Amino acid sequence: MKYALVISFLLFVFSVPSVAQNKLDIDAKVNVETKTISINQTIIYKNESDDVLDEIYLSDWNNSYSTKSTPLAKRFEEEFSTKFHLAKSDQRGYTVVTSIVDTTTNILKFTRLKTHPDVIKVALNKSLKPGEYYQINLKYNLLIPDATFTDYGVTKTEDFELKYWYITPVVYNGKWQYYSNKNLDDLFIPKADITLSITHPRNYRVTSELDFYDIKSNSKEPTQTTTLIGKDRTDTYLSLNKFPTFNSVQTDDFVLITNINEKGLSSGPAKAVITDKITRFLTQHLGDYPHQKLLVSNIDYHKNPLYGLNQLPSFFRPFPAEFQYELKVLKTALKKYLDNVLLLNPRKEHWLSEGLQIYFLIKYVEENYSDQKLLGTLADVWGIRSFHASDLDFNFQYFLYSMEIARKNRDQPITTPKDSLTKFNANIAGKYKAGVGLNYLDHFTNDINLSKKITDFLKENQLKAIEINDFEKFLKSKTKKDIDWFFTDYINTRKKIDFKIESIVDIQDSLKVTIKNKRENRMPISLFKLKNDSIIDQFWVENIKGKQTITLAKDSTEKFALGYDNVIPEFNQRDNIKAVEGNFLKNKPLQFRLFKDVEDPNYNQIFFMPLVEFNNIYDGLTLGTKVYNKTILRKRLNYRFSPQYATKSRSLTGSTSIFYTHNLENQNLFNITYGIAAGYKSFAEDAFFTRIRPSISFVFRDDSDFRSNQTDQITARYVSIKRELGDDATIVLDEPDYGVFNLRYTHHNPGRINFSSFYTDIQVADKFSKLSFNYEFRKLTKSNRNINFRFYAGFFLDNDSDPGSNYFSFALDRPTDYLFDLNYLGRSEAAGLFSQQIIITEGGFKSQLEQEFANQWMTTANFSTSIWRYIQAYGDVGLVKNKFQNAKFVYDSGIRLNLVEDYFEIFLPIYSNLGWEIAQPNYDQSIRFMFTVDPNVLLGLFRRKWY
């Protein structure tokens, strides 16, 4: 074996450019203390196109960390992460290229692209003709970034996890396929023969997919040089560790190297058996692996994990440790294997390799764990086993996750370039839709064994530069079925699959079944014949345009069902079943369930959930139940009825609502929601209000850029308020009951680095009409200083309310909230802790000044900026105008503790119109706090980076 390696290496090094292959020769020296790597590199680039090239482009993705304005930095910003922006300069990496010359040491001019600082354009001294080679010699130094940003880089323990670290040529296939690093692990690299010599401290060990050739050390030096070689390689991952965690398992197929672990499963025979099982499956379905080793790292897995219940803490995880480990390694190995042998553009044609990963993951579970349930062992637990979720197979999760985003009208075509996908679509929904789609195609093409044909395709095209069209042509040549719909409608568009059985007509000895296609597409649907809920027959119905009626012989069939086996990712399955004889309830009986469940299309589901809430200090703890129809997947029509008992006010309270949502696709207006909500709660001691609120809202977004966080919304509503006071009420009503028509336009562009929001609001009531404007701007500067600015202006168009009442007036620091929109814990408190709660709206002042209200007009400006970390200085100024009085100038200032922006903040007043507040008596009563207890609002912190 050793001699074979020596011969291979010699051939590798001394082969002449007649061999049709790119070559990379890299000599790297690692300095652990400075986190730098100095590199001498030779690139022999072959022009495999039909064009004459006068320049060559190189990818230098280490330089994508160089500034706070690179595409990578902007990607972090889009996903609401500030870790890169706030990092110190020496934590971010960069590349310094000191020399690029040709074989005769002639200097080659090079520039970095303005919009792609991690791409280098090298001007050649002579044109490179088709089939010819050009040698480039480079010298450059890398500062390796911290691994906290993307998991690749220098770790806290001074280990080096390196990927896309050295400079590589860009693929040219009629056009240079360069693009910037955006933390998507998708660099498009031409395959090459690689020789890598890396000099590193002796106490470090190199782990790589490349083959080890030699290790040299000098007893006089504290370093050693490890030499690695590889043929037809694209993977650049290398791990340099003091205490390596990788284990190698030699199987009959190839060596699998991994540091993926599972708590409760120790290294040993169990892992070896699982590994051998996985490599056998990979070889059988993906073809013989062309290299000796396949490396799958824990980083690979954490960037692309098994989403779902398997991410629960290990003490509560409902799957055996062996199953967890097996699927972790399998999913990661499938991705790595496909990336190494299928040379597609991973940014523009990612869906195929990702779809095949999920498709074969589905196949593996079907072959080896056909009885595994979505809920694992929880499916057998008393109480849980009554849920529909406990009946579902493990593989149903792929449909569930892909449909979750579709029901929200935020799905994207899976052919969308990867950097244009939202995080949820890129990491989860798009991959799952592609995998489920291939499984759908597999069942439809019942004239061939699709799995076997895909394996043939992978074998024929292993390590060849291909495009998606090659896959499409291959499949169409193998089946007699019309599969154009898969590549046109399913893959390339957002078109949904949505059919219904419209009618069944009994005509003597036959049945006429009418199927309606509710969408404009050509996708096929499977029709099942059921008896006693068991399948007695199945066939496919194709090319349904509008409606199609099929005539079937009458037999013992009791029901017809569409997509009964859950293979087809249909948008709405609730109208898929129809009884041959019977009424509405026989088609879909009522089903009552405790707690929310996965949607069961066979039933009309009604859910109950016990409620224990704390809304305000007047009602105290409220106990009750919620009756609703909302399932795990979003529905268009949602209703809720929540009767509750308030333990402190000893009264019946609660709320109810019903809303319908229209999802509009492929246009900027993507959501119209209308309905009505009503509620009954306390607003003071022994004082209650009833609010009835019909509303309609129109939500707009940029349909050409789903990653944009910008939204526009128009909301119209009518708020009817009625109040009643008990015998023990401690407040007096200034105004009679009222109703207000409210129209608001909101423009919102959230972000952690740049934030802006604007709204204009009109309110019309019997006694007043008013108009207000609000603009807010926030910026995190490159010097890590927070700058916050807000401007508010409001004025009455007319105001006939009681002159002695400020109930409808603009408020400087604490609005009366007569529309009952704000989540005050103690809305009627005039003293004590709960009176110090602040919600930034209207005037936005923090100090409680004497001039609290304005019944004519008011303008204010709020400003704050960083002092140190979450400590900020704030200042507010404004003009308050009341009838028959001169406008009054108001101001305040102090310290803002911005613990969780918009959710938990504390304001410490220092100086205002009241003077030095900090020196005044009872200063603790002047401190204000912002606190949000609504879990849906807090979940927004998580959702915003995914959607």
Q: Is 914 helix (H, G, I), strand (E, B) or coil?
A: coil
Nearest to 351 by CA among 409, 414, 427, 285: 414
Q: What percent of the chain has pLDDT over 90?
A: 77
Gap between the Cα atoms of 356 and 453, Å rounded? 12
Q: Which amino acid is at 643?
A: P
- Distance between CA atoms of 894 and 844, rounded to whole angstroms? 13
pLDDT of residue 1 exceeding 50: no
* Between residues 20 and 263, the one the model is more confident about: 263
Tell me: pLDDT of 943 over 90.
no
CA distance 156 to 152: 12
Task: Check if the beta carbon of residue 880 is closer than 8 Å to that of residue 809.
Answer: no
Which residue(s) pair with 684 in the sheet? 687
Predicted local confidence at residue 789, as pLDDT: 97
Instruction: Tell me how far the alpha carbon of residue 787 is from its chain's centroid.
Output: 28
Q: At 684, is the secondary structure helix, strand, or coil?
A: strand
Q: Which of 888, 885, 817 shows the shortest CA–CA distance to 851?
A: 888
What is the pLDDT, as a whole number, of residue 941? Answer: 60
Asked if residue 937 has pLDDT above 80, the reply is no
Report d(CA 127, CA 129) in Å as an integer: 6
pLDDT tens for each residue of 112-143: 999 999 999 999 999 999 999 999 999 999 99
The model's pLDDT over 446-465, given as tens digits with 9 standing for 90+, comes to: 999 999 999 999 999 999 99
**What is the per-residue pLDDT across 882-919, written as a single tens digit (0 to 9) for each?**
999 999 999 999 999 998 877 889 999 999 999 999 99
Q: Residue type at 38?
A: S
State the pairing for strand pair 211-217/192-201. unpaired
Q: Which ranges of 544-627 would DSSP assign to H, the alpha helix?
A: 584-587
Out of 120-129, 269-278, 702-711, 928-937, least confident range: 928-937
Is the pLDDT at 105 greater than 60? The verdict is yes
More confident residue, 119 or 318: 119
pLDDT over 90 at 268, yes or no:
no
Q: Quick check: 13 pLDDT over 70?
A: no
Average pLDDT over residues 293-302: 96
pLDDT at position 583 is 67
* Model pLDDT, residue 220: 81
Query: pLDDT (tens digit, 9 = 90+) per residue, 700-732?
Result: 999 889 998 899 999 999 999 999 998 888 888
Q: Residue 869's pLDDT band (boundaries 50, 70, 90)?
A: confident
The structure tokens listed for 20 are: 């049709």
The per-residue pLDDT for range 406-447, each reduced to its tens digit, is: 999 999 999 999 999 999 999 999 999 999 999 999 999 999
Residue 625, pLDDT above cutoff 60: yes
Write down the pLDDT at residue 802.
Answer: 86
Taking 90 as the threshold, does the pLDDT of residue 657 lie above it?
A: yes
Q: Which residues contact 147 (CB under 8 A, 6 or more apart)?
A: 153, 154, 155, 156, 161
At 529-585, the pLDDT tens digits run 999 889 999 999 999 999 999 999 989 998 999 999 999 999 999 889 998 887 666
Q: What is the pLDDT of residues 32-50, one digit of tens each?
A: 999 999 999 999 999 999 9
Farthest CA pair distance, the chain: 102
What is the residue-averaged pLDDT of the chain? 92
Residue by residue, DSSP assigns 478-493 as H-SS--HHIIIIITTS
DSSP secondary structure code for residue 309 in this structure: G
Is the CB of residue 366 less than 8 Å from the CB of residue 359? no
- CB count, 10 Å around CB of 456? 14
Helix/strand/coil (H, E, C) string of 30-75? EECCCCEEEEEEEEEEECCCCCCEEEEEEECHHHHHCCCCCHHHHH
Averaged over 583-591, what is the pLDDT? Answer: 74
Angle between helices 321-341 and 269-286 (to 10 degrees): 40
Query: CB atoms < 10 A from the CB of 666, how many?
Result: 10
Confidence band, pLDDT 50/70/90 cuts, at residue 935: low
Q: Quick check: 217 pLDDT over 60?
A: yes
802-858 pLDDT tens trace: 888 999 999 999 999 999 999 888 888 888 888 999 999 999 999 999 999 999 999
What pLDDT does 584 receive?
Answer: 63
What pLDDT shows up at residue 940?
Answer: 64
Pull the structure tokens for residue 393. Answer: 């197979």
Query: How sure is the predictor about 2, in pLDDT bands with cuts at 50, 70 and 90?
Result: very low
**How many other C-beta atoms can be found within 10 angstroms of the C-beta atom of residue 184?**
20
Confidence of residue 671 (pLDDT cuts 50, 70, 90): very high
pLDDT computed for residue 18 by the predictor? 42
Cβ contact 100:107 at 8 Å: yes
pLDDT of 102 over the 70 cut: yes
Q: What's the pLDDT tens digit per position in 329-342?
A: 999 999 999 999 99
pLDDT for 947 = 67
Contact assessment for residue 607 and residue 593, using Cβ atoms and an 8 Å cutoff: yes
799: its two tokens: 């105001």
Residue 777 to residue 757: CA distance in whole angstroms: 7
Give the model's confidence band at 3: pLDDT under 50 very low, under 70 low, under 90 confident, else very high. very low
| Nearest C-alpha neighbor of 235 from the set 166, 304, 180 | 166
